[in-house]
């Protein structure tokens, strides 16, 4: 009876030990599986971080290109606005000149209808005067201004004389009519062979003048401009003028 009881106790102990060993084996398998899962997750995390870094770099590049594109579009819009302003000014001047010429022609026709003989004599006199003026012009074709010179005075200082291509910045101008008036005044200088408005923004205009010969530019502009101005800066090829605030 004693041996039977001992055998039963041993069998129970062996069964318990076997059960514990099975649980340890199962726990070890679960640990290995969890470690594999953790390894895969860590690899995915590293891959996602790399992809995020690449996306951030691409976004920064795209944003930089977008900023440049916006700046370029803004510059193009400013240039288009300046071109439209110049075109409107040119069209206005053409229309005004056409209306003035049409009015003069209409007056001449009306005068011819009223007094044909007298008008004919006046027309012949005007043609004779024009031929005389053409004959009195210098041989080199330099246009003579109203004061009998081309804008170059012998007693002028050397720093007052401008020649070649000169930029004139003027402002602030209250409206486009002031710009047209100033451009007409500058084009009336005898030495001016070409003139164009390069830009007109925020009330300030930059006019490019091509002078066929040396000219006392500031003196000529002071005599012809439709408004008073102060000279802020002068260089060999550039002049900056500010409208007089006391006007």
User: What would the pLDDT profile of 18-74 be if each residue is shown by its tens digit?
Assistant: 888 888 888 888 898 888 888 888 888 888 888 888 888 888 888 888 778 788 888
Give the domain extent around 209: 158-243
* 170 occurs within a structural domain: yes
Contact 168, 214 (CB under 8 A): no
Q: What is the pLDDT of residue 98?
A: 61
Rounded Cα distance between 92 and 135, Å, is 34
Q: Rounded to whole angstroms, how far apart are CA atoms 161 and 183?
A: 20
CB-neighbour burial class of residue 170 (10 A; exposed 0-12, middle 13-18, buried 19+) = buried
| Biggest CA-to-CA distance, the chain | 169
Residue 88 pLDDT > 70, yes or no?
A: no
Query: Does 206 fall in a domain?
Result: yes
CATH number at residue 190: 3.30.1360
- Domain count for the chain: 1
Residue 194 lies in a domain: yes
- Residue 183: inside a domain: yes
| 166 in a structural domain | yes
Residue 227, domain member (yes or no)? yes
Buried b / exposed e over 2-14, threshold 16 CB at 10 Å, is eeeeeeeeeeeee
Residue 13 forms part of a structural domain: no
CA 168, CA 225: separation in Å to the nearest integer?
13
**What is residue 120's predicted lDDT score, i.e. its pLDDT?**
59
In a domain, 5, yes or no: no
Cα–Cα distance, 207 to 169 (Å, whole number): 6
């Amino acid at each position: 009876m004693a041996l039977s009881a001992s055998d039963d106790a041993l069998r129970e102990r062996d069964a318990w030990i076997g059960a514990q060993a099975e649980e340890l084996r199962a726990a070890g398998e679960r640990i290995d599986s969890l470690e594999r899962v953790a390894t895969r997750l860590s690899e995915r995390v590293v891959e996602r971080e790399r992809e995020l870094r690449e996306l951030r770099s691409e976004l920064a590049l795209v944003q930089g290109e977008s900023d440049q594109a916006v700046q370029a579009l803004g510059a193009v819009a400013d240039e288009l606005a300046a071109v439209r302003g110049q075109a409107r000014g040119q069209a206005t001047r053409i229309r005004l000149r056409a209306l003035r010429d049409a009015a003069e022609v209409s007056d001449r026709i009306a005068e011819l209808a009223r007094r044909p003989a007298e008008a004919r004599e006046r027309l012949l006199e005007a043609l004779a005067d024009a031929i005389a003026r053409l004959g009195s012009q210098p041989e080199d074709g330099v246009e003579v201004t109203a004061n009998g010179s081309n804008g170059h005075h012998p007693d002028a200082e050397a720093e007052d004389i401008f020649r070649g291509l000169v930029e004139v910045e003027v402002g602030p101008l209250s409206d486009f009519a002031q710009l047209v008036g100033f451009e007409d005044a500058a084009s009336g200088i005898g030495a001016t062979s070409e003139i164009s408005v390069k830009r007109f923004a925020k009330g300030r205009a930059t006019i490019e003048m091509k002078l066929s010969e040396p000219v006392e530019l500031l003196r000529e502009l002071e005599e012809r401009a439709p408004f008073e101005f102060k000279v802020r800066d002068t260089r060999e090829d550039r002049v900056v003028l500010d409208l007089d605030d006391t006007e």
